[in-house]
Chains A and B, each alone.
Chain A
Amino acid sequence: MTLEISLSRDPAHLRHGSNIGQPRTRTDGVLKVTGKARYAADNHPPGMLYAVIATSCVARGRVKSLDVAAAKRHPGVVDVMTPAHKPELAEDPDAKGNPFAFKMELLQSDEVRYANQAIAVVIAETLEAATEGAALLSPRYQVEIARVGLDAGEPYAPPVVGIGNPAEVRHGDIDAGLAAASKLTDATYETPAQYHNAMEPHAIVAVWDGDRLFIDTPSQGMAMAQMRIAGLFGIPPGNIHINSPFLGGGFGSKGLVSGPQVLGVMAARLVGRPVKLVLRRSQMYGPVGHRPQTRQRIRIGTDEAGMLTAIDHEARVTTSSFDDFYEPAADASHTLYASPAIRTAHEAVRVDTGTPLFMRAPGEATGSIALESAIDEAAFACGIDPLEFRLKNYAEVEPTTGKPFSSKALRQCYARAAERFGWARRPLAPKQMRDENGFLVGWGMGTATFPALMFQGNARAVIRVDGSGAMETGAHDMGQGAWTALAQISADALGLDLDQVAFRSGTSDLPDAGIAGGSAHTATVGAAIHNAGAAVIAKLAEFATSNERSPLYGAGNAGVIARAGRLHRRDDDARSESYADILARAGVAEIDATGTGAADPAAQSQYAMHSHGAVFAEVKVDPELGQIRVTRMVGAFAAGRIINPLLVQSQLYGGMIWGISFALHEEAVMDHRSGRILNANLAEYHVPVNADVPPMDVITVDEHDPHVNPLGIKGVGEIGITGSAGAVANAVWHATGVRVRRFPIRIEEVVMGLSV
Chain B
Amino acid sequence: MAKLHVTTTVNGEPMEFLCEPYETMLDALRGQLGLTGSKEGCSSGDCGACSITLDDRLVCSCLMLAAEAEGHQIGTIEGLATGEKLHPLQQKFLEHAALQCGICTSGMLVASDALLKKNPDPTEEEVRFWLAGNLCRCTGYDKIVRAVMETAAEMREGSRETAR
Residues in A lying within 8 Å of B, measured CB to CB? 25-26, 28-39, 41-42, 44, 126-128, 196-201, 246-249, 251, 278, 280-281, 478-481, 646-647, 649-651, 653-654, 657-658, 661, 681-683, 687-696
Q: A28-B102, A34-B77, A246-B102 are in contact. Are A647 and B42 (CB under 8 A)?
A: no
Contacting residue for B44 out of A31, A34, A196, A281, CB 8 A = A281
Cβ-defined contact, B101 with A199, below 8 A: yes
| Contacts of B31-80 to chain A: CB distance below 8 A | 31, 35-44, 46-47, 49, 76-78, 80
A692 to B47, CA, bound (A): 15
Q: Mark B96-115, 1 if CB is under 8 A from A, else 0.
A: 11011111111001000000
B31 to chain A, nearest CB (A): 7
Task: Give the residues in chain A near B30, CB-CB below 8 Å.
Answer: 42
B78 to chain A, nearest CB (A): 5
A646 to B23, CA, bound (A): 41
CB of B132 closer than 8 Å to a CB of A: yes
Cβ-defined contact, B40 with A41, below 8 A: yes
Cβ-defined contact, B135 with A34, below 8 A: no
Q: Mark B120-138, 1 if CB is under 8 A from A, else 0.
A: 0000000111011111111
Cβ-defined contact, B105 with A689, below 8 A: no
Cβ-defined contact, B100 with A650, below 8 A: yes
A657 to chain B, nearest CB (A): 4
Cβ-defined contact, A689 with B135, below 8 A: yes
Q: A34-B90, A128-B23, A200-B41 are in contact. Are A246 and B101 (CB under 8 A)?
A: yes
Cβ-defined contact, B42 with A681, below 8 A: yes
Cβ-defined contact, A25 with B95, below 8 A: yes
A661 to B139, CA, bound (A): 10
Q: A34-B80, A683-B44, A693-B128 are in contact. Are A198 and B137 (CB under 8 A)?
A: yes
Offer 25 A-B interface pairs, CB within 8 angstroms, sorted by A: A29-B99, A30-B94, A34-B77, A35-B36, A35-B38, A35-B106, A39-B102, A128-B23, A199-B103, A199-B104, A199-B136, A199-B137, A201-B40, A201-B41, A249-B101, A249-B137, A281-B42, A479-B100, A479-B138, A683-B46, A687-B137, A689-B132, A689-B134, A690-B131, A691-B131
**Nearest chain A residue, comparing its CB with the CB of B30:** A42
Q: A33-B86, A281-B44, A690-B129 are in contact. Are A249 and B138 (CB under 8 A)?
A: yes
Contacting residue for A657 out of B90, B96, B141, B145, CB 8 A = B141
A247 to B138, CA, bound (A): 11
Contacting residue for B132 out of A31, A683, A691, CB 8 A = A691
Task: Give the residues in chain A near B40, CB-CB below 8 Å.
Answer: 41, 201, 278
Task: Give the residues in chain A near B135, CB-CB below 8 Å.
Answer: 199, 682, 687, 689
A559 to B35, CA, bound (A): 54
Task: Give the residues in chain A near B154, CB-CB below 8 Å.
Answer: none
Task: Give the residues in chain B near A661, CB-CB below 8 Å.
Answer: 139
Task: Give the residues in chain B near A654, CB-CB below 8 Å.
Answer: 100, 138-140
CB of B20 closer than 8 Å to a CB of A: yes
A380 to B115, CA, bound (A): 46
**Nearest chain B residue, comparing its CB with the CB of A33:** B90
**Nearest chain B residue, comparing its CB with the CB of A278:** B40
**Nearest chain B residue, comparing its CB with the CB of A41:** B40
**Nearest chain B residue, comparing its CB with the CB of A655:** B139
Known: A39-B103, A689-B132. 20 other contacts (CB 8 A): A34-B80, A34-B81, A37-B102, A42-B36, A44-B31, A197-B137, A199-B104, A200-B39, A479-B138, A650-B97, A654-B100, A654-B138, A657-B141, A682-B135, A683-B46, A689-B134, A689-B141, A690-B136, A693-B141, A693-B142
* From B22, B40, B145, residue with most partner A Cβ within 10 Å: B40
Cβ-defined contact, B102 with A248, below 8 A: yes
A199 to B108, CA, bound (A): 13
B42 to chain A, nearest CB (A): 4
**Nearest chain B residue, comparing its CB with the CB of A480:** B100
Task: Give the residues in chain A near B23, CB-CB below 8 Å.
Answer: 128
CB of B25 closer than 8 Å to a CB of A: no
Task: Give the residues in chain B near A694, CB-CB below 8 Å.
Answer: 142
A488 to chain B, nearest CB (A): 13
The 9 A-B pairs of least Cβ separation, nearest first, read: A35-B37, A479-B101, A479-B100, A32-B102, A248-B103, A657-B139, A35-B77, A42-B36, A682-B46
Task: Give the residues in chain A near B140, CB-CB below 8 Å.
Answer: 650, 653-654
Cβ-defined contact, B20 with A128, below 8 A: yes
A650 to B46, CA, bound (A): 24
Contacting residue for A200 out of B22, B80, B103, B127, CB 8 A = B103
Q: A34-B90, A35-B106 are in contact. Are A200 and B141 (CB under 8 A)?
A: no
A535 to B105, CA, bound (A): 39
A247 to B39, CA, bound (A): 13
A70 to chain B, nearest CB (A): 19
A627 to B86, CA, bound (A): 41
Task: Give the residues in chain A near B31, CB-CB below 8 Å.
Answer: 44
Cβ-defined contact, A36 with B37, below 8 A: yes
A158 to B102, CA, bound (A): 39
**Nearest chain B residue, comparing its CB with the CB of A30:** B94
B136 to chain A, nearest CB (A): 7
Cβ-defined contact, B86 with A30, below 8 A: yes
A44 to B35, CA, bound (A): 12
**Nearest chain B residue, comparing its CB with the CB of A128:** B22
A251 to B86, CA, bound (A): 30
Q: A29-B94, A35-B38, A251-B137 are in contact. Are A198 and B101 (CB under 8 A)?
A: yes
Task: Give the residues in chain A near B133, CB-CB below 8 Å.
Answer: 689
A127 to chain B, nearest CB (A): 7
A691 to B136, CA, bound (A): 12
A657 to B102, CA, bound (A): 17
A127 to B31, CA, bound (A): 11
Contacting residue for B139 out of A28, A35, A278, A693, CB 8 A = A693
Task: Give the residues in chain B near A28, CB-CB below 8 Å.
Answer: 102
Contacting residue for A690 out of B38, B47, B103, B144, CB 8 A = B144
Cβ-defined contact, A690 with B100, below 8 A: no
**Nearest chain A residue, comparing its CB with the CB of B105:** A32
A427 to chain B, nearest CB (A): 28
Task: Give the residues in chain B near A687, CB-CB below 8 Å.
Answer: 135, 137, 139
**Nearest chain A residue, comparing its CB with the CB of B107:** A199
Task: Give the residues in chain A near B35, CB-CB below 8 Å.
Answer: 35
Task: Give the residues in chain A near B96, CB-CB below 8 Å.
Answer: 646
Task: Give the residues in chain B near A33, CB-CB below 8 Å.
Answer: 86, 90, 93-94, 99, 105, 109
Cβ-defined contact, B97 with A26, below 8 A: yes
**Nearest chain B residue, comparing its CB with the CB of A658:** B139
Cβ-defined contact, B41 with A38, below 8 A: no
A46 to chain B, nearest CB (A): 13
**Nearest chain B residue, comparing its CB with the CB of A248:** B103
Cβ-defined contact, A281 with B41, below 8 A: yes
Task: Give the residues in chain A near B136, CB-CB below 8 Å.
Answer: 199, 690
Task: Give the residues in chain B near A36, CB-CB below 8 Å.
Answer: 37
A657 to B47, CA, bound (A): 17
A432 to B94, CA, bound (A): 43
**Nearest chain A residue, comparing its CB with the CB of B1:** A75
**Nearest chain B residue, comparing its CB with the CB of A653:** B142
* From B35, B39, B109, B129, residue with most partner A Cβ within 10 Å: B39
A75 to chain B, nearest CB (A): 10
Cβ-defined contact, A248 with B101, below 8 A: yes
B128 to chain A, nearest CB (A): 5
* From A25, A39, A654, A690, residue with most partner B Cβ within 10 Å: A690
B3 to chain A, nearest CB (A): 12
Task: Give the residues in chain B near A38, CB-CB below 8 Å.
Answer: 36
A484 to chain B, nearest CB (A): 9
A682 to B107, CA, bound (A): 16
A690 to B138, CA, bound (A): 12
Cβ-defined contact, B39 with A199, below 8 A: yes
A338 to B152, CA, bound (A): 50
Task: Give the residues in chain A near B95, CB-CB below 8 Å.
Answer: 25
Task: Give the residues in chain B near A481, CB-CB below 8 Å.
Answer: 97, 100
A479 to B104, CA, bound (A): 11
